[in-house]
Amino acid sequence: MMKHLYCTAGAGMEELLAEEVQHKLCATQVEQISGRVFFCSNADLHTVTQLKSAERLFLLLRKAEPISLPNNPAKAAAVIKQSVVGDPDIWKQTLLTWTALQEELQGSQQRGHKRRREEEEEDEEESLTVADESTHTLTSSTHLLKRQNETNKESREQTPSFRVSCRCSGVIARSYTSQRLGRIIGMAIKEHLGWKVDLKEPVLEVNVYLSNDHCVVGIPLLKHPLASRSYMKHNGLRSTIAWAMTSLCPKQLNDCVILDPMCGVGAVLLEAAQEYSNAVFLGMDTDTSQLQKAAENLKACGMEGRVQLLCSSAMEIPLADGAVDAVLCDIPFGRKFSCSSDMPTALPRLLREMERVIRVGGHLVLLLSLQLSAQLKKTICTHKHNQHLNSSDTNNVHTDPSNTHNESTDTPKTITFHKPSSETSNTPLLISSLQAQRTHRVSLGSTDAFIHIYTKIQTQAHSH
């Protein structure tokens, strides 16, 4: 069944989401606007729910040109009835599609519960406590499925209960609040379609987005956001951003050694491990409590054997030169998680250690605050600039990184541990062996950040 869908996305993630739906869902009619990506797909709903860059998933009901509302509420209601609600037949058909998709999702959940029951019956060594917990889970699932059956029955009766969630911006927001618009739209739906308003436990939530450029109406297909990963027991970096860091790496990372030297609860490594089943992952951190949470996350998603954790400082990474194929790292901003080092001061040395352990042709992917991004440009210079430094003995000239890509065909190295000597020199640490590939700006909610992607090249003056 061809479905007209859209997903919400964080700022800066729209392009990645558009690429993902085309690649994973073979989607057509892909269109992106600020915060949303629209597409058509006949992929099964379970496959659609595996999208990694999306926030929430919606069945598209209406996408139209922006509307202009008069200040008079009565006249505004008439415009909304015509331009936002529109043809009742479209709503009825969308409701049928939504109901069918809910039944598809329910069938998938039932098959999953059946598989789990079969696995539990085959496991003769399972303890009584675990069995009790499983029984409780299955009982809860039965209640959930019963509620879904009631929901689907109510939907089929064509008189579902609903509530409206409205967001508006631009010119409309100057005259109407989102809450006021939501009430007007809700009354228009009730009068025009005969649906029942239920603000507490509705069958449907009608989402309306009104801006200077668009009028979008949709119905969520899932109660929980796609961005809320079931395999993350402890949350750190937002999962969509962690996935983006993996996605933006210039090469496929299967059969590679991947390091996160400041791994925290392991969000970046877990997202990478979901994508690359044959890679070897190593996470390091100096905070033992964070490493414990990372270990619990690994256990929750069944990846204890695929990701190795080590208590170690990113300032002195205990790996041999060129030991890894890629370094993926979220450099702490000092907002959500504190750091014992002053990041702007420590960044050059951190970069040099990361660069040292990456093989030629390998990649460095960093998530940095706007301040640290500016500091990064003062630390990484081009090969041409490095030659200028050697010839003129000048340490204060900086140029923008090159966009040239130089991929090595060297085979991945195995992990070899060693104890590097401490860095004591106060000489500026300029790095010329990292070539810029891409910089991508993303939103972290209260602040923005940059994802920087570099490839390591061989330079004549490369030494440690």
Residue pLDDT, tens place only, 375-432: 888 787 644 444 443 343 333 333 333 333 333 333 433 444 444 444 444 444 577 8
Q: In what order do the strands lie in the sheet with 28-33?
A: 28-33, 36-41, 3-8, 56-64, 215-220, 204-210, 161-168, 196-197
| Residue 19 domain-assigned (yes or no) | no
**Residue 287 belongs to some domain of the structure:** yes
Give the residue, 20 or 158, on which the prediction is more confident: 20
- Average confidence score pLDDT of the chain: 81
Mean pLDDT of 47-67: 94
- What pLDDT is stored for residue 118 in this prediction? 52
Same domain, 208 and 332: no
pLDDT digits (tens, 9 = 90+) for 312-347: 999 999 999 999 999 999 998 754 444 445 788 888
Q: Note whether residue 154 is domain-resident.
A: yes
> What is the CATH classification number for the domain harbouring 201?
3.30.2300.10
Residue 385 shares a structural domain with residue 353: yes
Looking at residues 146-166, what average pLDDT do you find?
A: 70
pLDDT, residue 389, reads 37
Mean pLDDT, rounded, for 241-259: 90
Q: What domain count does the chain have?
A: 2
**Bigger pLDDT: 378 or 103?**
103
Backbone angles phi, psi at 262, to 5 degrees: -140, 65
Domain that holds residue 355: 239-456
Lowest mean pLDDT: which of 31-40, 153-162, 222-231, 401-410?
401-410
Per-residue pLDDT tens for 417-453? 444 444 444 444 577 889 999 999 999 988 999 999 9
Tell me the average pLDDT across 455-464. 66
Q: Domain check: are 188 and 261 in the same one?
A: no
132/436: higher pLDDT: 436
Question: Is residue 122 over pLDDT 80?
Answer: no
Q: Are residues 385 and 272 in the same domain?
A: yes
- Is 125 found in the same domain as 62? yes
Residues 70 and 196 in one domain: yes
The answer on 151 and 243 residing in a single domain is: no
Last residue of a domain, one of 169, 189, 220: 220
Judgement on whether residues 165 and 248 belong to the same structural domain of the protein: no
pLDDT of 109: 61
Give a yes or no: residue 277 inside a domain: yes
207 plus 260 within the same structural domain? no
* Assigned domain for 194 exists: yes
In a domain, 168, yes or no: yes
Using DSSP bridges, classify how beta strands 204-210 and 257-260 pair: parallel, antiparallel or unpaired.
unpaired
Q: 112 vs 273, which has greater pLDDT?
A: 273
Nearest to 412 by CA among 256, 252, 246: 256
Q: How confident is the model at residue 139 (pLDDT cuts 50, 70, 90)?
A: low
Share of the chain above pLDDT 70, in %: 75
- Answering whether pTM is above 0.85, one says no
Q: Indicate if 191 and 283 belong to the same structural domain.
A: no
Q: What CATH number is attached to the domain comprising 434?
A: 3.40.50.150
Residue 263 CA to residue 313 CA, distance in Å, equals 11
Q: How far is CA 136 from CA 23, 125, 140, 217, in A?
A: 39, 19, 6, 38
Report the residue count for the chain.
464
pLDDT at 393: 38
Residue 151 located in a structural domain: yes
Structure tokens at 36: 């949303």
Considering only 55-69, 150-164, 250-264, 295-309, which range has the smallest mean pLDDT?
150-164
* One domain for residues 263 and 201: no
17 in any annotated domain? no
Q: Are 335 and 414 in the same domain?
A: yes
